[in-house]
Chains A and B, each alone.
Chain A
Amino acid sequence: GAVVSQHPSRVICKSGTSVKIECRSLDFQATTMFWYRQFPKQSLMLMATSNEGSKATYEQGVEKDKFLINHASLTLSTLTVTSAHPEDSSFYICSARKTVTSGQPQHFGDGTRLSIL
Chain B
Amino acid sequence: GNSVTQMEGPVTLSEEAFLTINCTYTATGYPSLFWYVQYPGEGLQLLLKATKADDKGSNKGFEATYRKETTSFHLEKGSVQVSDSAVYFCALRSGGGADGLTFGKGTHLIIQP
- Which residues of A are at the interface with B, using a C-beta cutoff of 8 A? 6, 32, 34, 36, 41-46, 49, 59, 93, 95, 97, 102-111
Contact = CB atoms under 8 A, between A and B. Distances in A.
Contacts of A109: 43
B45 A105 contact: no
Q: Which 5 A-B pairs have the closest CB atoms?
A: A102-B97, A110-B43, A46-B100, A108-B44, A34-B100
The A interface, classified by DSSP as helix, strand, loop or mixed, is strand
Interface in B50-96: 51, 89, 93, 96
Contact of B101 (A46, A102, A111): A46
A44 B91 CA distance: 10
Contacts of A97: 97
Contact of B103 (A43, A105, A111): A43
Contacts of B101: 34, 44, 46, 95, 106
Nearest to A50: B100
B99 A104 contact: no
Q: How large is the interface on B (under 10, 10 to 19, 20 to 34, 35 or more residues)?
A: 20 to 34
Contact of A102 (B4, B46, B49, B96): B96
A43 B100 contact: no
A109 to B, nearest CB: 6
Nearest to A51: B98
A107 B98 CA distance: 15
8 contacts: A32-B98, A34-B101, A42-B105, A43-B105, A44-B103, A105-B34, A105-B49, A110-B42
A43 B99 contact: no
A46 B96 CA distance: 17
B1 to A, nearest CB: 10
B73 to A, nearest CB: 14
Contacts of B46: 105-107
By CB atoms of chain B within 10 A, which of A6, A34, A44, A93 has the most?
A44
A80 B102 CA distance: 23
A78 B43 CA distance: 18
B104 A93 contact: no
